[in-house]
Amino acid sequence: MGGNEDPRMQPGIWSEKEGVFILPDEWKLSYQVSCGELSPFFRALKEEGRLLGMRCPSCGAVYCPPRSWCHDCYADTDWVEMAGTGTLTAWTTVYFAASDLVEKVPFRQGGVHLDGARYPIIGRLEVEEEERLVSGARLRVAFKPQEERRGRVSDYYFVLDEVS
Ligand SMILES: [Zn+2]
């Protein structure tokens, strides 16, 4: 890329609409991220449409998002499958997102305290009725169709759990 195709070579412009000076810019970055010892979590998302957590064999604490060691005992944890139901702790509307969630902006995202888990996990909420997004609302995890899953946290989302 060179010359006038590079946005950084373009002059800044005044935006009447926003009342600010705008500088064209570009940021392209391709890289790979190793999921390391948490790889089974991402692999299960992609290949099986399952949400895994980790359980302490000593005290029984369950972590989802997974933790490879217990925060209380420091014991190594074991993989377990989460039931996928839980309660909403808080939520917001996301207007700026990176990578694979860009296509969903704006979207609702919340903290979901999965049943049995020590801490909430963050997830996209597919709930149309804003008045139903109250703290304590019952939610359950859902997954994209297999052909659309990529082993990313955007493979799952939460919907209202109408039956529990
Ligand atoms: Zn423990």
pLDDT at 4: 61
* H or E segment and range at residue 43: helix 39-48
Ligand 1 midpoint to CA 77 (Å): 8
**Ligand 1 centroid vs 90 CA: distance in angstroms?**
26
6: number of Cβ within 10 Å: 12
Between the CA of 48 and the centroid of ligand 1 the distance, in Å, is 27
CA of 72 to the centre of ligand 1 (A): 5
Domain ranges of the chain: 36-160
C-alpha distance from residue 16 to each of 8, 21, 24, 46 (Å): 21, 9, 16, 45
Q: Look up residue 103 and give its amino acid.
A: E
**pLDDT at site 2:** 46
pLDDT score for 104 = 85
- Write out the H or E segment, with its range, that includes residue 17: none
Measured in Å, residue 121 CA sits from the centre of ligand 1 at: 19
Residues with CB under 5 A from ligand 1 (ion): 56, 58-59, 61, 70, 72-73
C-alpha pair distances (Å), 9 with each of 3, 6, 12, 21: 7, 6, 9, 16
What confidence score (pLDDT) does residue 3 get? 52
* 26 CA from centroid of ligand 1 (Å): 46
Ligand 1 centroid – CA 116 distance (Å)? 14
Distance from the alpha carbon of residue 122 to the mean position of ligand 1, in angstroms: 22
For the entire predicted model, the pTM comes to 0.81
Task: Pick out the chain residues at pLDDT < 70.
Answer: 1-4, 163-164
